[in-house]
Amino acid sequence: MRRRLPVGAACAVTLTLALAGCGAGGEGERLTVFAASSLGGPFSVLGVRFAEEHPDVELTFSWAGSSDLVAQVTAGAPADVLATADERTMADAVAAGVVSSEPVVVAENSLALITPAGNPAGVTGLDESLEGAELVVCAPQVPCGAATLELAERLGVTLAPVSEEGSVTDVRAKVTSGAADAGVVYATDAALVADAVDVVPVPGAEDVVNRYPVAVVAGGPSPELAEAWLELVSGPEGRAAFRDAGFEVP
C-alpha cells in the first residue's frame, strides 16, 4: 500500500480532469479533494494528518478556481470532496445536484491589496493612484473576483485591471513576479508572501468576507473517506489549521 502527501507535495491540477500526474494507481483506496486554490496551505497540513489516520489511502488534491472546480464536478470529474471559496459557487453545485451532503462552512477570508515589495508604482489604494498602474484581479465568476467587485462598489470606484485571472494564486504570482504593479488577493495569500509584497490598506476590505463551504460529492468513488475528510476539516484540528493559516473560523 502507498502513502502519499508530504507537506507541499500535492499535485496542482487546474482546468483539467487529468489527475494522473499526482501518482495514480496503487492497490489502496483513493480520496480526491477538489479545492479552491486559496485553501492550499491548511488543506495540505490537514492532508498530512489524514494520511496518518488513513495510511493506506492515496490522497489527491486538485487545486483551481472555485467556478472551474464546480464545472469539472458537474461534468463528471471523479471527485469525492468539493471545497469552494464562497457560498455562491457552492450553491451552483447544490443546484446542479452534484453534492450529497449539506455544505459545511469551515473558514472565512477577506481581501487585501498587494504590490511588489517596495511598491514601485506608488499605489496608495483602490484609488486614482492606480491610473497608469497594472492592476490584476480575479475574474468576476471566481469568488475572489466577485468579492473584489463588491469592495469596489462599496468604495464607489470602477477598476480597470489589465487582466482577470482564473484563481487568486495566479493574481498573487503576477504581483510577486513583478509582472503587475498591484493585485487584489485574499488576506491569507498576502500573508503567504509577506516578504515579497507590500500590503496597501484599503478601507472596508475586512468587511468583504468570503465563506468557504465543503461538501461530499454525490456519487464519488469514496464516500466514507469523503465523510472522514469533512469531519477532519470541520473539527478542532481543522479549525486550528485554518487559524494558523490566517483564516477566520466561523
Give the model confidence (pLDDT) of 59-118 as tens digits. Answer: 999 999 999 999 999 999 999 999 999 999 999 999 999 999 899 999 999 999 999 999
With a CB cutoff of 8 Å and minimum separation 6, the contacts of 234 are 104, 106, 214
Matching CATH topology for 20-107+211-244 and 109-207?
Answer: yes
DSSP state, 141? T
Integer Cα distance of 225 and 246 in angstroms: 27
Q: Provide the pLDDT confidence category of residue 27 given band limits of 50, 70 and 90.
A: low
Length of the chain: 250
Per-residue cell: 127:
484609488
Contact (Cβ atoms closer than 8 angstroms) between residue 215 and residue 81: yes
What ranges do the domains of the chain cover? 20-107+211-244, 109-207
Q: What is the model's pLDDT at position 24?
A: 34
Average pLDDT, the chain: 89
Q: Is the pLDDT of residue 20 over 90?
A: no
Tell me which fold the domain 109-207 belongs to: D-Maltodextrin-Binding Protein; domain 2 (3.40.190)
Pairwise CA distance, residues 134 & 85, whole Å: 25
Superfamily for domain range 20-107+211-244: Periplasmic binding protein-like II (3.40.190.10)
Predicted local confidence at residue 140, as pLDDT: 95
pLDDT in the model for residue 28: 72
Its pTM stands at 0.84
- Alpha-carbon span 167 to 35, nearest angstrom: 11
Mean pLDDT over 168-193 rounds to: 96
In order of 12, 138, 240, the CA distances from 23 in angstroms are 12, 30, 29
Residue 101: per-residue pLDDT: 87
> What is the per-residue pLDDT for 43?
98
